[in-house]
């Protein structure tokens, strides 16, 4: 169901805004486009007429509920619908600012409840075994060293896959601290553990390719930027060998980085900065530890905790 031209133009202008002004990542902008386009497509059929500013302005809570019910019937789960509603609300906030459109009904619409679920970290012993096993997933020594270096950065530094694969040869040899640009083009400073620097050095020593400062640090067998899917594939092979659950993914190494730091006595604020989270509540979700441990951290950190 295609949205009418008026609404489509507004959507394109908004997407340009969030890209240029708010610095949203390409993946986020693509998700916004998908979610809001679906919403506008529904409204076009729902109202049965031209979809422009006037139609967008007359949306009621009843209309919003009809859209959400339609999406659920299509099979959209509660989490995805909550994400779509968040995108629609963001679009309408922009419409309010730029087009003076009434947005009360849209912003008042409640998101469906869903169980966010805590991420499942990998046990310390399993994480160590995983890093030792990664190098044996390829008959090429340099490929094994590459995979080990990537996974060591995820677990030892709390990097996302995209952040590790965005590193360039010009950033080597890795310093003791790295400036990482993460989601929303936000920069953060992270320490680089000796094991990670050593793993990267070994990979570069064995790599058959000629690197320039602009070359991606981690390359595939054809000399192009390493595909994230290859990192996921290595994790799949390793977890099968070690008998680890399906939750042992590359991103779970980032969960484990946060959880193991907290268990060792790290404070939530510091871990929040290392992970690059805008909200402390997000960090709490990453650190899948029991409530008693969290309360202990709060009591030690809060001036009136004792």
pLDDT digits (tens, 9 = 90+) for 141-184: 999 999 999 999 988 888 888 889 999 999 999 988 888 876 76
CA-to-CA distance for 284 and 116, rounded, in angstroms?
Answer: 12
Q: How confident is the model at residue 76 (pLDDT cuts 50, 70, 90)?
A: confident
Q: According to the model, what pLDDT value does residue 54 have? A: 86
Give the tens place of pLDDT for each residue, 221-273: 999 999 999 999 999 999 888 888 888 888 888 878 777 776 666 656 666 66
Name residue, tokens 């340099």.
142
Name the active-site residue from 39, 92, 160, 203. 160
Name residue, tokens 């309408």.
92
Name the active-site residue from 146, 254, 255, 260. 254
**Statement: residue 27 has pLDDT above 90:** no
Give the tens place of pLDDT for each residue, 53-72: 888 988 999 999 999 999 99
Domains and CATH numbers, the chain: 5-108 (1.10.150.130), 124-301 (1.10.443.10)
**Statement: residue 19 has pLDDT above 70:** yes
Query: Crossing angle for the helix pair 228-242 and 124-134, nearest 10 degrees?
Result: 120
Active site residue 229: no
Q: For residue 142, how many C-alpha atoms fall within 13 Å in the half-sphere facing its CB?
A: 13
Q: According to the model, what pLDDT value does residue 304 have? A: 53
Q: Give, for 187, the enclosing helix (H) or strand (E).
A: strand 187-191
CA-to-CA distance for 205 and 195, rounded, in angstroms?
Answer: 15
Give the tens place of pLDDT for each residue, 80-97: 888 899 999 999 999 999
Closest to 106 measured CA to CA, from 59, 47, 36, 72: 59
User: Hey, which residues does 216 pair with through a beta bridge?
Assistant: 168
Q: How confident is the model at residue 290 (pLDDT cuts 50, 70, 90)?
A: very low
Give the tens place of pLDDT for each residue, 184-199: 667 788 888 889 899 9
pTM of the predicted model as reported, rounded to 2 decimal places: 0.58
Task: Calculate mean pLDDT across residues 131-139.
Answer: 90
Q: For residue 288, which phi and psi values (nearest 5 degrees)?
A: -80, 75
Active site residue 183: yes
Name the active-site residue from 17, 46, 188, 251. 251
Name the active-site residue from 93, 183, 211, 233. 183
Q: According to the model, what pLDDT value does residue 67 have? A: 95
Q: Can the peptide bond before residue 173 be classed as cis, meaning omega within 30 degrees of 0?
A: yes
Active site residue 160: yes
Q: How confident is the model at residue 277 (pLDDT cuts 50, 70, 90)?
A: low
Active site residue 22: no
**Neighbouring residues of 213: CB distance < 8 A, sequence distance ≥ 6:** 168, 169, 170
Mean of the per-residue pLDDT values for the chain? 82
Active site residue 72: no
CA-to-CA distance for 221 and 299, rounded, in angstroms?
Answer: 51
Tell me the two tokens of residue 117: 């679920």
Q: How many CB atoms lie within 10 A of CB 187?
A: 9
Closest to 183 measured CA to CA, from 87, 279, 247, 111: 279
**Statement: residue 3 has pLDDT above 60:** no
Active site residue 277: yes
């Amino acid at each position: 169901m295609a949205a009418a031209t008026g609404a489509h133009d507004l959507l394109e202008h908004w997407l340009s805004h969030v890209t240029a002004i708010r610095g949203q990542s390409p993946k986020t902008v693509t998700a916004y486009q998908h979610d809001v386009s679906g919403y506008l497509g529904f409204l076009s059929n729902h109202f049965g007429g031209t979809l422009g500013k006037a139609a967008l302005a007359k949306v009621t809570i009843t209309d919003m509920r009809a859209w959400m019910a339609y999406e659920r019937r299509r099979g959209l789960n509660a989490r995805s619908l909550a994400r779509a509603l968040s995108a629609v609300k963001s679009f309408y906030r922009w419409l309010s600012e730029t087009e003076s459109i009434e947005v009360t009904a849209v912003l008042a619409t409640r998101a469906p409840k869903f169980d966010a679920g805590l991420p499942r970290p990998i046990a310390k012993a399993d994480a160590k075994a995983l890093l030792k096993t990664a190098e044996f997933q390829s008959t090429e020594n340099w490929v094994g060293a590459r995979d080990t270096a990537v996974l060591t950065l995820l677990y030892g530094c709390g990097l996302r896959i995209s952040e590790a694969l965005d590193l360039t040869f010009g950033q080597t040899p890795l310093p003791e601290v790295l400036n990482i640009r993460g989601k929303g083009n936000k920069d953060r400073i992270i320490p680089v553990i000796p094991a990670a620097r050593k793993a990267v050095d070994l990979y570069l020593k064995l790599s058959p390719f000629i690197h320039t400062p602009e070359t991606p640090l981690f390359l595939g067998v054809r000399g192009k930027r390493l595909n994230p899917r290859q990192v996921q594939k290595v994790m799949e092979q390793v977890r099968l060998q070690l008998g680890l659950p399906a939750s042992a993914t590359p991103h779970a190494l980032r969960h484990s980085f946060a959880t193991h730091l907290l268990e060792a006595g790290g404070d939530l604020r510091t871990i929040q900065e290392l992970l690059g989270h805008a909200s402390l509540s997000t960090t709490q979700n990453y650190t899948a530890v029991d409530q008693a441990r969290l309360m202990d951290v709060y009591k030690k950190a809060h001036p009136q905790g004792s």
